[in-house]
Structure 1
Amino acid sequence: MSSWERSRFIPWSRIPEDPAHLSEQKERIFRQLQREADKQQRAKEEQKQKLVASGNEDGTAANSATTTTLQSSTVPFRWGDLFKSAAFGGTIGAITGSVFGFMDSMRLAGQSEVLKNASDMAKGKYMMEGTTRSATLFGVFFGGFHVVKYGIRVAIDPGEYSEIAMAGGISLGALMYKPNFRPAMPYATMLILMDSIHLVMRQFESD
């Protein structure tokens, strides 16, 4: 760039009051302007780099905090754990239900005038049907209760006592929805209380 072209970019405020030495001073004025422009450019670049670095640190910290929060507040879903929960609840429910069913069948058989006069084979068949029906009902109920409890744990992980309360409300509500299953409500509630007692005893042992 020629000295004439460069002098066109000199602001009026920088022009000396004595024009006699303008030709000698314009190079100095231009270099001063160039240094100021370079200084401003470097300051802008440094500010931009600081903003980028700060943004990366904040983003990394936010991502780390989010990941930590998610990892600490949720439980990963595993089909194996779901199957074990269903199998455990179904097995315990079926065993308990078979005991309840057998006791109820014996009581009804002793109270029924028809069964009193029936043969031992008929009485045995009646008691076997009652036991099987009760075992199936409570096996499905308690297995479903543990599946719902596991689903709540994976979804929101509110704590073991809250899991039992929420899953118990859902399971008992589903059982109460069917009028034929309502007589089993006391036994179903007992199963859920047994699960709660097991949790309390396990925590006492760990302490």
Structure 2
Amino acid sequence: MTQQNLSRRTLAKGAAWSVPLAAASASVPALAASQPRDPKQLTKEEVQSGNCARIAEAMTFDGLRNYGHTFGGYADANMNIAVTIQAQGWPYAQPMSVKTYNGQGWNRHVPAPWITLPRAGGKTFKGRASLASRGRWGIRQGVPVSPNLQWKDSAHADSLDWHDATLTLPLEFSWSDDGGEHACVLDFKCELLDGWQAGLGLVRGRMWNPRITVHGE
């Protein structure tokens, strides 16, 4: 075997071993870089910039309860709910204020809540929430929201099918830190699993599929 042939074989063998090693070593950083970021982990910069989309994405529900709807025949329908919302990964126990639309002279800048009845031809009622303001709650520990919702022009709504009704409750979250004053209007949404029960004066409205989105999305 000539020195020339030996050199070629040696080079070819070395190339055969080096290609997979190079490919493997090159793939490690790419694989690491492709790991998805935990959507529940907020950075201090995102909080201080008032990044509403990221804050909505990071919010979860620590509690969820519907404790009754009432219809008074000629009166408008009422709904009572209790929701506890918190942001996982909030960098610190930041006090937060929560407001809803009231419609009686204060908090009118927050959009009104509404509910849509898909089994009643998409009938929609708008209303107001009795919760005026809840302040100084740490978002890490959870923000309790317990409004009484009153649906305008919903008298005799007990004759409609409330199954799978979609509730949208706009909430204004506001907080301050060394990045300034921040406010986000986020929509709490859910569906009602049960409908009107004639003769009982109540709607068993178990809530499911709760979520938080930026208002209007």
Do both share a fold (TM > 0.5)? no
* Larger RCO: 1 or 2 (CA < 8 Å, sep 6+): 2
Instruction: Decide which structure has the larger Cα Rg and report it.
Output: 1
Higher strand content, 1 or 2: 2
